[in-house]
Chains A and B, each alone.
Chain A
């Protein structure tokens, strides 16, 4: 048992609710002084919410926090700072055009008057002390991402923080820079700072942390557990739930192709992409989707799912590899040509990538057809309005007239507009990216039903979701992405433990 006087930070029965949803439920944790603590869990387990509660950004609906046995009021950043609690965000908020010194002063938030020179000198000293190798006169936008992070950490430490929370610090880092970060974190520990790392990769947890706290579905599964004597299997079992299988088999790894090659609507061969700002680059990905098959893509968000879709849609630069659609090599084809061959996409962001909210329904609905015509060809708006009207009616979209703005529809109805546009009779390969995100149960059911129907009509479907239950429900086959690589391929009956282990790299 941990004696209470050793605790620097204690949370008792923390509950955070957003409406009827409990992001955190009755979480009680006590973090010991001077150690490195990891907080882990799947997507939506409540890790980030927890970090934000601790930093005073979210006021918990119930529960109490104490620092050194003194109560800290929730939802008050100033009070949290005063108590020595600092948070480094998942995506950092340093103004890109500022110099390092300016950004740090801005973040430190003191209203004193200063000269540029004194500012530079002051922060340089601070950076040097923390061994962050950067000039304080350098502009943020010119720094590599790991240095930006180091600057952010340095900023958090200015106010003599006793307690530093890093929210998914490794998500933006490459393996080598992750190691550098860990060196820095160990230095902080030596200097007496208590560090809480929100992580999702098991390997990293076991590498760096002294204790681990596991959250699942907003509930505490395991309060700080000593990392010694714990292994990946145990940990992944705690993260995913139920008891872990004894052999977290990697036997299912590798490519399981449909028997007959010519049946494949999509055949991707050793595809690698050039890294860009929108997410992990693909690294030697091969996969096939047969006609009449739903392939589910599991994986923690940002591990290359988005890049896969963008690669199939000719929206990212390829390094190597080939993409075949219906047995035809379309690696050199434009997105539009691929669409004319039967590619359809239900994009990730409904109201940004899927629809133009401030345009009418019929324009949104007709654009796919219009883009297949020469740019300056004539259209018949009256006919297209009527076609849109009957098309939307068939999909049970609720609207008053087709001149209505797309932005006036509810999420479910807006998604139905996209479905009715993308899931026509000529659709051969349908990519459904997070098609049920934010939808209620009825609309979700409708989307599933439509996808199944399209499959039964012979379309191949790539189904991407961050909801594992949903993927299990709908997929005929599941592939798992991790850091831009296809790390596992599974056929029914699906084993949640195996797939979960693959998602967090436990079987690597």
Chain B
């Protein structure tokens, strides 16, 4: 329990440090840091209905982030969640188009399966390249993100193009209302249920299956696992596929829920925020639920800020960037501080 407490304390400290850095930037830019933070907290969590909006953004982020956690735990830095998210949404959109007219109880599950398949496929090739020939998955999955963005532009401007569109942003035809599992103005219980059940399944996978323990060991010391006779191929590939599949499901959720259609370049930071959530949560599934709520709140605050208080939404991006900076920097000083702290606590 002690170590968990330290983990939480650590994540909070990183966030506080990041916010301290942000307030300096805000002040330098001529804003009142206090006013900004007040508006952000207000917009994210306190104002009427804020929690609903936070949840709306948190649910898909959570789904993608638990996928990221599965691959990171196995030692594979799949940073292609964004691309897998797009390809998942594209597969789902094609499926909806193809099955258009069929009853919803067929179309909706089919779209989810297609979305998971699309995301998994977009993680499959970097996974194979990594495991067969050792190609660095950081590079390949990153490239995969750009490719997926371009494919999305092509699809929304080509095969799935909405002819009645304004021309400002290429997008697909809106989904038939019968197939929507949520909308942009109220919270969808279906989406929350999907997120919770996927979270539970992944928690069981990580903590209560042989796969969870073996992939965790392989992530920290692959040589040892090989000397125990494991073939890293199957464990590694499974991590890639699960990771991509979850991002694909998140893409499907966005398509069939709040968005209702595919638009070129929609939610361009989704996958990266999910990685941030995974890191802030220290690769714990339960931690990711909390972290997703926090970042979901920030995302909804980004919409609220300019409208309600006339403050720039980019403040949220600065906060995200600062947290990323601190969480990835692994400050030596902080680690020293925490190791000292843990010794004290033990006594």
Contacts and interface: CB of A to CB of B under 8 A. Distances in A.
A366 B225 CA distance: 12
Interface stretch (A221-229, A238-246, A331-339): A331-339
A24 interface: no
Interface string A471-507: 0000000000000000000000000000000000000
Interface in B191-235: 204-205, 207-214, 216-217, 220-221, 223-231, 234-235
B220 A358 contact: yes
A367 interface: yes
A313 B221 contact: no
B224 A336 contact: no
B324 interface: no
A367 B228 contact: yes
A379 interface: yes
B311 to A, nearest CB: 43
A315 B231 CA distance: 10
A367 B211 contact: no
A458 interface: no
A345 interface: yes
A378 interface: yes
A377 B209 contact: yes
A96 interface: no
A353 B217 contact: no
A359 B231 contact: no
B89 interface: no
A376 interface: yes
A353 B208 contact: no
B144 to A, nearest CB: 25
Given A334-B229, A336-B230, A359-B216, A376 B224 contact: no
A364 B229 contact: no
A370 B221 contact: no
Contact of B229 (A336, A374, A381): A336
What is the size category of the interface that chain B forms with chain A?
Answer: 20 to 34
A352 interface: yes
A374 B238 CA distance: 13
A375 B217 contact: no
Interface in A340-380: 345, 347, 352-359, 363-364, 366-368, 370-371, 373-380
Nearest to B204: A378
Contact of B210 (A352, A364, A377): A377
Contact of B216 (A314, A353, A363, A375): A363
A359 B229 contact: no
A338 B207 CA distance: 28
Given A371-B230, A375-B235, A381-B207, A356 B221 contact: yes
A354 B227 contact: yes
A375 B214 contact: yes
A315 B226 contact: yes
A244 B238 CA distance: 60
Interface of A: 313-315, 334-336, 338-339, 345, 347, 352-359, 363-364, 366-368, 370-371, 373-381
- Closest 7 pairs (CB-CB, A-B): A356-B221, A335-B229, A370-B210, A336-B229, A353-B227, A358-B220, A356-B220
